[in-house]
Amino acid sequence: MSTTPSAEPSAGGEQRPRVVLDCDPGHDDAIAIVVAARHTELVGITTVAGNAPLDRTTRNALIVRDLAAPGVPVVSGAARPIVAEPVHAAYVHGESGMDGADLPEPSGPVDGDDAVGFIIDACREHEGTWLVPTGPLTNVALALRAAPDLAHRIAGISLMGGGTFGNRTAAAEFNIWCDPEAAAVVFEYGGPLIMCGLHVTHGFLATPDRIRRVRDVPGRLPAVLADLLDFFSDTYVRLHHDLAGAPVHDPCAVMAITHPHLFESYDAHVVVETHGVHTRGETVIDRRTSRGRPAPTCRVLDRIDADAGFAVVEEAIAHAARAG
């Protein structure tokens, strides 16, 4: 299995992977959009219900697009999981999905409401596109099911989800737990797959110092993002006894392909538990060393260099603020 990022040279000669970002903004999804806008050829932002209902995640995506990725199309997608009942995360992100900042109105409506069709077209138009899902995997799974040829057309899938422990339950991380049947399709799709799970992102915290550095950057976008990170971190610190800030989960899935040197990783066979009474939505990582174990299906990120990762985030925010 290869997870070497496929990349297109940018005008400046920099290597930028072509990406469709599928997200449910979401405070940390907003940061993922900013980093993707800076370091990828971002061909589209597709939205899915997750942290909040679809109309809210889509509205949030439009707002962040306007501030950080002008011109990139936003296309809405699945309003509910494939099988499970929809459940959202107002207890983490607020009722809007991005509480905590005074947000501008979106500049206009969405560019389409068929995220699945958009993903299929984008991957067929140009082989070697990366899919970067940072929400429940509904849109991506539906695209892989409707167009099985995508499995050999895309460069790979780099997702935020799963890990060696859960947050929504003891075993399951929120994005996987929301739509485990969709996640199972993605983990079994057969092409390059990178999993950025909670055991990585809980080492990538929006500490007070890091938020202060974002706030010190001049411009509207840094002020909005600092307010969002303050809300997000206050929530995490209140809900946990051992976190000094919110894990900024989602940009890690982008940086896994744009800055792979920031991560330690290993390859393993990974499946999604869809039936367990206590373990539905768990990503089961086969870490056995026995000769008969199944072949690896996934690059499992294990650790991030958090200071270097935050430097990437801060620079991306400053870059977008200067351009805006």
Please identify which residue in the block is written with the tokens 């990538």.
204
Q: Minimal distance in Å, beta carbon 175 to Ca ion?
A: 6
Among 134, 158, 258, 297, binds ligand BDR (CB under 6 A): 134
User: Where in 212-251 is the site for ligand BDR (CB under 6 A)?
Assistant: 249-250
Beta-bridge partner residues of 304: 263
Could you tell me how many residues of this chain bind Ca ion (CB under 5 A)? 6
Active site residue 240: no
Residue 135 in contact with Ca ion, rule: CB under 5 A: yes
Q: Which single residue brings its beta carbon nearest to ligand BDR?
A: 174
Residue 94 in contact with ligand BDR, rule: CB under 6 A: no
Residue 283 in contact with ligand BDR, rule: CB under 6 A: no
Residue 139 has a CB neighbour count (10 Å cut-off) of 30
Q: Which of these ranges, 20-28, 38-46, 97-105, 275-283, lies near Ca ion under the rule CB under 5 A?
A: 20-28
C-alpha 261/C-alpha 208 separation (Å) is 26
| Residues 187 and 193: beta-carbon distance below 8 Å | yes
- Tell me the one-letter amino acid at 61: A
DSSP state of 97: S
User: Where in 10-29 is the site for ligand BDR (CB under 6 A)?
Assistant: 26, 28-29
Cβ neighbours for 169, distance < 8 A, ≥ 6 positions apart:
177, 278, 279, 280, 281
Q: Minimal distance in Å, beta carbon 11 to ligand BDR?
A: 31
| Residues 97 and 52: beta-carbon distance below 8 Å | yes
Q: Which of these ranges, 34-42, 62-70, 166-174, 211-219, lies near ligand BDR under the rule CB under 6 A?
A: 166-174
Q: Compute the radius of gyration of the chain from its Cα atoms.
A: 18
Of ligand BDR, Ca ion, none, which one does residue 282 interact with (CB within 5 to 8 Å by kind)? none
> HEC states along 164-233?
CCCCCCCCCCHHHHHCHHHHHHHHCCCCCEEEECHHHHCCCEECHHHHHHHHCCCCHHHHHHHHHHHHHH
Q: Which is nearer to Ca ion, 26 or 309 (CB)?
A: 26
Q: Which is nearer to ligand BDR, 26 or 156 (CB)?
A: 26
Query: Peptide bond preceding 97: is omega within 30 degrees of 0, i.e. cis?
Result: no
On the CB side of 71, CA atoms within 13 Å amount to 6
Residue 139 in contact with ligand BDR, rule: CB under 6 A: no
Beta-bridge partner residues of 303: 264
Residue 167 in contact with ligand BDR, rule: CB under 6 A: yes
Of Ca ion, ligand BDR, none, which one does residue 5 interact with (CB within 5 to 8 Å by kind)? none
Which x/- pattern, by CB under 5 A, does the window 241-260 give for Ca ion? ---------x----------
Residue 63 in contact with ligand BDR, rule: CB under 6 A: no
Residue 92 in contact with ligand BDR, rule: CB under 6 A: yes
Q: Which is nearer to ligand BDR, 6 or 28 (CB)?
A: 28
Q: Which is nearer to Ca ion, 63 or 217 (CB)?
A: 63
Beta-bridge partner residues of 72: none
Q: Which of 88, 93, 202, 249 is an active site residue?
A: 249
> In a 10 Å sphere around its CB, with 0-12 CB exposed, 13-18 middle and 19+ buried, how is residue 223 labelled?
middle
Residue 26 in contact with Ca ion, rule: CB under 5 A: yes
> Could you report how far apart the first and last alpha carbons of the chain are, in Å?
39
User: Can you say whether residue 281 is alpha, beta or left, with left for phi > 0 and alpha for psi between -120 and 50 degrees?
Assistant: left
Q: Minimal distance in Å, beta carbon 190 to ligand BDR?
A: 24
The residues assigned a catalytic role are: 249
Residues found near ligand BDR in the complex (CB under 6 A):
26, 28-29, 51, 89, 92, 134-135, 160, 167, 173-175, 249-250
Residues found near Ca ion in the complex (CB under 5 A):
24, 26, 29, 134-135, 250
